[in-house]
Structure 1
């Protein structure tokens, strides 16, 4: 059974009279790339700060690596994080920056410097000062600093923010490489669903400090995939008719008896065929959204509650 890397239980953070985060329950399994998605100010960075110990919960618990530890002391040694932008010295080289952070963290030996530079694609930067790096290179250096201690769990706050399309691709490929080759579990926050959709294996959608939904990439794809929603009085017979008379197999019968048909077929043809076979039509509609529309509808609905 896959172990939990992170589990938050009713996690809340209150500032004076307002909650930045309220009753958030997140579960991240080993090997996940978890995308925490929400608008700016939704509470994403606050959650990351609570997990990394940069802020303290008003209530609730954080369980890391299977253990609920209010101090998070030992667990934090197994994590790497880049919160609110990478911390670097602009007049130093990439290697010199890593050496400063190695000494600060008390990591023995200098072997990790070269290995980390190689890992994040900065091995050939030589004597080039960080102030002359592109934004994408600076972000990779920030990830390198977070990876110095060879963590099991990496936390990144908006790692693609401000990057051009090529820079986004570089960061995405780096994160996928770390996940694939090192088995690293990753938690990433972003306000760009389309970018996270190309990367994350699981999503948590947060709005105004509350977790609205937690779902896998497959579940998100299913919700957004274009389909015809069919409801008849006998779903078993309906499925048989769709396969036998229409020759369609790309469909699924949901627990409530609704049939989701993913093949492109004229809606009138479906209605006529089902009716001709004695089925009573209760519902027939075209469904499916873009990722952005799905997110907007979910968040918009939450604002009206």
Structure 2
């Protein structure tokens, strides 16, 4: 039995002189929730378009469900559900009518799946309301319903939380977890809301300028999100100078909110605090904490580490 839903080997997509995807090797195991992280323009959407057959690679190979996508894409598509960019919806139709059109296009037998899927995404009560009168969040839910209508084995979601309020984001996260846990659904999800991926994904792929620069499990990410001292003082510039000149420290960074993350002397915090106060600095906050996914990602792609 093949444990992998998706494999890429040297996958490349080139537009003139620009590599939107550049020699990517990537593997997604059955049952994974794979969080795809990258800045706008990093190549996330292009990658997902290659997986779903909306675009074709310039070089490299793509294997889905153990079959080369060049010969088995049609069969693979029947086992996948996807939202790539904005879902294609008929604005003059209701949610139910949209799903009926989608059901017929996909050749999905029986209409029972429509009611089940509307209930699953919380759109049962939309009735005769036309999609043109839906909120952005409701449209996202309808797009998700279309992706789930065929009861897929592999779900691909490109920025699915766009337009959702905080409650909607939590509900979507809970739904994906439930489908993954109860049905074994494998999910590939990209999002710029890194904190949401941190609460959901089991594996992470970080893409930057078309290249997959790191692939790691949740456990590995937790290990790499280093512990540090979060320091807030009245004069951050002077504080940075004191850390360097008086304590000989270099492994720290000044954050945009004018706090300092110090990665050294975690076991000698009294010495750090005393040195700062002895130099006339007022300490407003001083606590041991760990990196967020955002700060780790920022460092990895060339963020503001102080050297």
Distance 2:94 2:289 in 1: 53
Distance 2:67 2:270 in 1: 56
- The reply to whether residue 22 of structure 1 matches residue 22 of structure 2 is yes
Q: For each residue in 1:243-297, what CA deviation from the matched residue of structure 2 results, as whole angstroms up to 9, or x when unmatched?
A: xxxxxxxxxxxxxxxxxxxxx854689xxxxxxxxxxxxxxxx995222111011
Q: For each residue in 1:194-223, what CA deviation from the matched residue of structure 2 results, as whole angstroms up to 9, or x when unmatched?
A: 121111111000000000100011111111
Q: For each residue in 1:31-78, what CA deviation from the matched residue of structure 2 results, as whole angstroms up to 9, or x when unmatched?
A: 111011000000000000000010000011111112223141211111
Q: Which residue of 2 aligns with 1:180?
A: 181
- The reply to whether residue 299 of structure 1 matches residue 304 of structure 2 is no
Shift of 1:21: 0.3
- Structure 1's 210 and 287: CA in aligned 2 closer, same or farther, altered over 3 A? farther
Q: Which residue of 2 aligns with 1:54?
A: 54
**1:1-305 alignment runs, 5 A limit:** 3-71=3-71, 72-226=73-227, 265-266=267-268, 288-300=290-302
Distance 2:88 2:31 in 1: 26
Q: Which residue of 1 aligns with 2:258?
A: none
The DSSP-based 3-state class of the residue aligned with 1:12 is strand
Distance 2:267 2:184 in 1: 42
Distance 2:69 2:294 in 1: 37
Shift of 1:167: 2.4
Gaps of 5+ in 1: 229-263, 270-285
The DSSP-based 3-state class of the residue aligned with 1:25 is strand
Q: For each residue in 1:116-163, what CA deviation from the matched residue of structure 2 results, as whole angstroms up to 9, or x when unmatched?
A: 112222222222222332322221110110111111000011101243
Count of aligned pairs between the two proteins: 251
Q: Is the 8 A contact 2:140 2:163 kept in 1?
A: no
The DSSP-based 3-state class of the residue aligned with 1:70 is helix
Report the more deviating stretch, 82-91 or 151-160.
Answer: 82-91
Distance 1:193 1:219 in 2: 16
Distance 1:197 1:290 in 2: 9
Distance 1:82 1:165 in 2: 20
Shift of 1:2: 7.1
Gaps of 5+ in 2: 230-265, 272-287
Distance 1:167 1:115 in 2: 19
Q: Is the 8 A contact 1:78 1:153 kept in 2?
A: yes
Q: What is the TM-score normalised by the length of structure 1? A: 0.77
Distance 1:32 1:212 in 2: 19
Shift of 1:225: 4.3
Distance 1:31 1:195 in 2: 19
Distance 2:289 2:109 in 1: 57
Structure 1 segments of 4 or more deviating over 6 A? none
Q: What is the TM-score normalised by the length of structure 2? A: 0.76
Distance 2:46 2:190 in 1: 11
Distance 2:117 2:166 in 1: 24
